[in-house]
Amino acid sequence: MSTLREAAGMTNQELIDRSGMSASYFYGRLRGSAPFDANDIEKLAQALGTHPHEISRVAASIGEAREIEPMVDTEPQELGRRLTAVSRAPRLDGSVFNIDELVSELAARGVAFDRDEWSSLIAGASSSPVRVRVLEGVGAYAGVSTAYLLDLGDAAAVEAAEANFEFREALKASGADSVSARAVGEISPAALRAIAQTLRSISAQ
């Protein structure tokens, strides 16, 4: 926050006044009592004459991101691989993953996000850490466990999610009702892959 404030030639008090926050609220969040929320970031961006995404980007680049909102340390290339898998698989309702729809859904959650940030993430070129709310929003939109995106060391989450992607792809190719993808419940990854193989065999006939 201080980097952008100083670049704008403002004092903390001027930033507080222009953003409409109280001093106690502003300083409490700087001390880490709570993260700045989406509305706060919008107000700060307006006061600083910049875009909300720029606040998060600069904060992440200098290691101050956690004062803005929750962040998670990640491995960019592996996260990029998983986000690519998410974007290629049909969603739970059978529809195609659409980046513009994702941006709109994240905006509705109060999360500033754009195509450039998405391109950086899937290319494995993003800086670490990454905003938790972005990954949670991607998971909610795609219908995948957030553990798959937030905990790269969770092998069970990887197996479950990627078997589910394989199942969804086979289901869509077979022309089956997309509701079936929602009804798989607690079927094991191995069973899902077996079902996917059966569906592909039927489709190939």
Dig out the tokens for 19 from the structure.
């953003």
Question: Torsion angle of alpha carbons 25, 30, 34, 38, nearest 10°?
Answer: 80
Tens-place pLDDT, residues 113-152: 889 899 999 999 877 788 888 999 999 999 999 999 999 9
pLDDT attached to residue 110 = 77
d(Cα 48, Cα 60) in Å, to the nearest integer?
17
Q: Evaluate whether 32 touches 46 at the Cβ level (below 8 Å).
A: no
Q: Alpha helices, DSSP H only, in 51-154? A: 52-61, 76-88, 99-108, 115-122, 132-142, 147-150
HSE-up (13 A, CA, CB side) for residue 144: 34
d(Cα 109, Cα 76) in Å, to the nearest integer?
24
Of residues 56 and 26, more confidently modeled: 26
pTM value surpassing 0.75: no
pLDDT level of residue 193 (50, 70, 90 thresholds): confident
Q: Which candidate, 131, 107, 118, places its Cα nearest to that of 57?
A: 131
d(Cα 57, Cα 131) in Å, to the nearest integer?
10
Tens-place pLDDT, residues 66-96: 555 677 888 999 999 999 999 999 998 889 9
Residues 6+ apart with CB under 8 A from 91: 97, 141, 142, 143, 168
What one-letter code names the amino acid at 188?
S
Phi-psi bin for 32: left (phi > 0), alpha (psi -120 to 50), beta? left
